[in-house]
Amino acid sequence: MALLDGKTLLVTGVANRWSIAAGIAKQLHAHGARLILTYQGERVEDAVREHAREFGGAAVHPCDVTSEESLRALAAAAGPIDGLVHSIAFVKKEDLSGKVYTTSRDGFATAMDISAYSLIALVNALERNLNDNASVMALTYLGATQIVPNYNIAGIAKAALESIVRYLAFDLGERGIRVNAISAGPIKTASSRQVAGFSSMPAKVAAASPLKRNVSAEDVGNCAVYLASDLSTQVTADVHFIDAGYHAMG
Ligand code: 0WD
């Protein structure tokens, strides 16, 4: 019997095949989970539907986290779920370089809304879909707690996201629902390429980390398998690093 047999996981953020969410969906499917994939808009719908076929005919629904109507429609369509993967972030390109103090009020609000508040919005919308003992996970990055040049407002939003993870863990703990963050090492994706100077990060991590290597989206997916499974029923309000140990370097 596979680890995730009988479990249904809703995965957001599969924008294309390089997305971390695509690696997560691949591993969840490989371990027996039934998947529901969401897509932000028409621009990525075809790619997500193609992935869905690859993952055993996963169900596909639209979901734009900035729209309450879209979130309500997702809740109505999704049915019961045993877990939820939040793999969503957006920061205006001009706010991913230069000085943090030049961030506009609007840029700050957009980053916080899509990269952090969206987890609250998703959980609020899907609370009744989540079965007892379900697992909620969100993708974060070391820039939440350490200075990563140019990550800027994205790091500030990740700090908020990690705090939201802890408060949601408290809110949902009575139902046995766990809420955790996965802090991934740098992986080349459409989002990460927006961060000025990002292209040098994977090599830097590979050279400096204890394990002397980079992580892949599938490595992150393996952590998601553990967090979605009954092996992690006592783990909540945590930030789990999948970064070859880089976060512990001085
Ligand atoms: O090195 C990296 N790539 C790391 C990424 C290291 C550590 C953490 N992360 C995080 C990101 O911050 C994000 O939370 O992982 C998550 C996934 O990011 P990704 O896989 O690197 O990037 P990408 O493939 O671009 O997925 C992010 C997706 C969007 O993709 P596009 O390319 O269309 O911007 O977030 C989704 C969208 O699919 N997204 C939304 N989904 C629903 N509603 C919205 C929205 N309004 N906005 C963005």
User: Helix, strand, coil proportions of the chain in percent (round to 5)?
Assistant: 50, 15, 35
pLDDT tens figures, 202-215: 999 999 999 999 99
* pLDDT score of 233: 97
- Contacts of 173 by beta carbon, 8 Å cutoff, 6+ apart: 236
Query: What are the boundaries of each domain within the chain?
Result: 8-242
Q: Which CATH class is domain 8-242?
A: alpha beta
* pLDDT score of 103: 96
| Ligand 1 atom having least distance to the Cα of 66 | 46
**Considering only CA atoms, which of 180, 222, 185 is closest in space to residue 26?**
222
CA nearest ligand 1 atom 1, residue: 186
Mutation test of ligand 1: which of 39, 87, 183, 218 has the most ligand atoms closer than 8 Å to its C-beta? 87
Mean pLDDT score across all residues of the chain:
97
- Please state, in angstroms and rounded to a whole number, the distance separating the CA atoms of residues 38 and 88: 11
* pLDDT score of 9: 98
pLDDT tens figures, 216-239: 999 999 999 999 999 999 999 999
Question: What is the interface pTM, i.e. ipTM, of the complex?
Answer: 0.96
Mutation test of ligand 1: which of 49, 86, 88, 126 has the most ligand atoms closer than 8 Å to its C-beta? 88
**Considering only CA atoms, which of 38, 23, 128 is closest in space to residue 74?**
38
* pLDDT score of 35: 98
pLDDT tens figures, 57-81: 999 999 999 999 999 999 999 999 9
Distance 175 CA to ligand 1 centre (A): 29
| Ligand 1 atom having least distance to the Cα of 189 | 21
What is the rounded average pLDDT of the residues 144-161? 97
* pLDDT score of 83: 98
Q: What are the φ/ψ torsions at residue 115 (nearest 5 degrees)?
A: -90, -20
Q: Is 44 close to ligand 1, i.e. is its CB under 6 Å away?
A: yes
pTM for the whole structure? 0.98
* pLDDT score of 140: 98
| Ligand 1 atom having least distance to the Cα of 190 | 25
Known catalytic residues are 141, 151
HSE at residue 121, side-chain half, CA atoms within 13 A, is 19
Sheet holding 59-62, edge to edge: 59-62, 34-39, 8-11, 81-86, 130-140, 178-184, 239-242
Spell out the alpha helix ranges (H) of 2-143. 20-30, 42-54, 68-78, 105-112, 118-126
H/E element holding 154? helix 152-172
